[in-house]
Amino acid sequence: MKKRRFLGGFLAAFGLLLIVWKALDGARWYTQGLLSCAAVIGPMLHGWVLETSASGLAPEWVRGTDRVQASLQFDALAVGVVPVVALIVATPGLALRRRVTLSAVGAGLCFVTDTLIVAAFPLLVFYKNAFTDVLGTFLGLIGFVGAPVIIWFCLTFHDLQRWLPSLRRDQPPAPR
């Protein structure tokens, strides 16, 4: 696999997908779906209820008189779908049908990951201690940076083995 070709394909796909994402207002739709799903999962997970406001104020998790504002950058969290799809589009050797299927699965896995992060938010903020600080930082890193690459790699690992001999079990890595 030519690294430059893959990088160029990824950057081109990322740029085009980002333009489409902005034009279709993808972040707004993604965030609405994310908040709707987190509002269902959250109370089952920890008993807090997510209140959203039509006036554009940040959503709040509420339990009795306790309130935790969900001060997340939802636009930045939502755009994590774009690199997953761009990485899948740039992956060599995938048939069109497989590429579309993996893109849909990858976007879905990003959505599930982000939903769990938003649903866990009041546990990380209200119960402030060293563990929740570390876990919150880790989940932020995963949500914003790690998840797209990890999801892409897991979905395309078997396909990448054909293109990267060092990933094959039956062949030793090529000497450098």
pLDDT at 21: 94
Q: What is the pLDDT of residues 141-174, one digit of tens each?
A: 777 778 899 999 999 998 888 776 665 566 555 5
Angle between helical axes of 130-141 and 96-126 (0-180°, round to 10): 160
- Kindly provide the b/e burial profile for residues 8-27, where b requires at least 16 CB atoms within 10 angstroms of the residue's own CB: ebbeebbeebeeebeeeebb
Other Cβ atoms within 10 Å of 118 Cβ, number: 25
Share of the chain above pLDDT 70, in %: 90
Q: What is the pLDDT of residues 5-29, one digit of tens each?
A: 889 999 999 999 999 999 999 999 9
Q: What is the pLDDT of residue 95?
A: 92
The tokens describing 53, both together, are 């406001």
Q: What is the pLDDT of residue 166?
A: 60
Task: State how far the Cα of 51 lies from the Cα of 80, in Å rounded to an integer.
Answer: 24
pLDDT digits (tens, 9 = 90+) for 91-128: 988 999 999 999 999 999 999 999 988 898 888 877 77
Torsion of CA 8, 10, 13, 15, to 10 degrees: -80
Q: What is the pLDDT of residues 80-97, one digit of tens each?
A: 899 999 999 999 889 999
